[in-house]
Chains A and B, each alone.
Chain A
C-alpha cells in the first residue's frame, strides 16, 4: 500500500495526477497508465481509483469533461497541475537530500 509518509499526496495520488498530465482519461485508463508507468510496481485497486477520482474532483484537482455510458472522462485543472508540481518538487528535494547524505563524508 502506498501510504502517505509526510507530503501532501500518497504514491497513488501522485501517479493519478501524473496520469492526467498529458491527456484526458477515464478511471480505467488511469489504472492502466499507472501500472504501465511503474512497470507493475503499483497496481491501483478499483476502490482506490473510484475514491480518488471523487476526492480529486471534489477538491477541484480534476474536472469531468465527458460522460459516455459507464465511462467518465476527466482532465487536470490548473490547481491539480500546481499540486502535482509542488509534490514533484518536494520529492526532488527528498531525493536530493538523500543522495547528498550518501555522498558526503562522515
Chain B
C-alpha cells in the first residue's frame, strides 16, 4: 500500500507551467500527484523518476468528456494521475520530453477557453465577496470610524470579526486569483512560461482567514447562534428581586421578558440580554421614570476585552443615571463601576473575560445586590 503525503501548493491554482514544473520536481523526489483539497495537494510515494507532467484544462465538467480525454491520453502513452481541483486533469508521461500539444493554435484555443472560464468564475468570486461581506457589513450597528473612540464596543458586535476576517481573507484570495489570471494571460500571449511567482501562500492565508467566517456563517444560517432559555432558574437578577415581591411588572411581554435572550457564535462573544419594566400607563410610550432593569452580558474569547469595554462605558453618559465611577471590587468581581443619578443607576462589572452591564431605573442601591449579581455570573 502506497504512502500518502500532503504538500501546500506553492504556486497559483491555475498557473499551468508553474504547477507542471512543481509536480515534476516532486515526482523526481518520488512523490506522485493524486488529488487536491483546497490549497493542499495529495501525493502517493513511489520511485523517483524524471517524468513529464501535463495539466489538461477540461473543456467542461462532464464525465463523458473526461472519459474521452482520458482515453485519448492513455492511448498516447500518458498515465492519468488525478484531477486538479475541478479544472484540470493531470497526466504523466515517462518521457520527460513528451509534449501533449503539438499544435500552437490548439494550445492557444485551450488557454483562451480556460481564461474565459476563469473570468466567469472570477465574477462568481466577486459576487460571493459582495454577498458575504455585505451580510456582515449591514449587521454592523456602528461604523468603522467608531473604532477610534470605542474600539471594544465596536469590536463587541457579533458582525465585526466575521466582517474583518472576511475582508482580509477575500483580499488575499482575490489578489491570488488576479495574479493567477494575469500569469495565465501572459502564458497564452508568450506561449511559454515566464518567471515563476510563488503565490500559493496568498491562497493559504486567504483560506485560513475565510474558513472561520464560513463556519460562523453556516452556524448562523442554521439558527444555531440564537439559544434563548427561560428566566426561571436562570439565576438572573429580576426587577421583583430588587423592588420587592409586591412590585407590579408590565403586562407587555416585550417589556417583561420571561426568557433570557442568549447568542453564541464561533466568531463573536457569547452574549445575554434581559429586561423588565414596571407597569406604565400608556402602551408603547414609556415614561423616563418607569422602573426598569436591563442586563447585558458579554463573555469574550479574547482577554482584556471585558476590562476595555468597562473602561469605555465610563466615558458614556446616560440621562438621569449619572457618570460611572470605579468602586472597590467585591463579591468576586475584578472591577466594579457604579453611577447614580436622579432616575436610577448603572453598574458595570468585570469578572475575568465577562462583562456585565446593568441599567436600573429606580431608587434602590445596586451595590446592595452585588451578591445576587455574583450568583448570576456564576450561573452563566
Contact = CB atoms under 8 A, between A and B. Distances in A.
B16 to A, nearest CB: 11
B104 A46 contact: no
B64 A67 contact: yes
Interface residue SS majority, chain B: helix
Interface of A: 1-4, 10-13, 26-28, 31, 42-55, 67, 69-72
Nearest to B66: A70
Interface string B101-120: 11111110110010000000
A51 B76 contact: no
A91 to B, nearest CB: 16
10 contacts: A10-B105, A12-B106, A28-B72, A31-B72, A48-B101, A48-B107, A54-B59, A67-B64, A71-B68, A72-B68
A54 B60 CA distance: 10
Contacts of B71: 26-28, 70-71
A3 B67 contact: no
A47 B59 contact: no
Nearest to B67: A70
B282 interface: no
A1 B64 CA distance: 29
Contacts of B75: 28, 31, 46
A10 B100 CA distance: 17
B64 A72 contact: yes
B273 interface: no
A20 B129 CA distance: 47
Contacts of A50: 56, 59, 68-69, 72-73
B78 interface: yes
Interface in B234-254: none
A48 B106 contact: yes
Contacts of A70: 67-68, 70-71
B105 A47 contact: no
A47 B109 contact: no
Contacts of B109: 51-52, 55
A49 B109 CA distance: 12
A46 to B, nearest CB: 4
Contacts of A4: 104-105
B54 interface: yes
Interface string B91-106: 1000000011111111
Contact of B103 (A27, A31, A44): A44
Contact of A52 (B54, B70, B106, B113): B106
A50 to B, nearest CB: 5
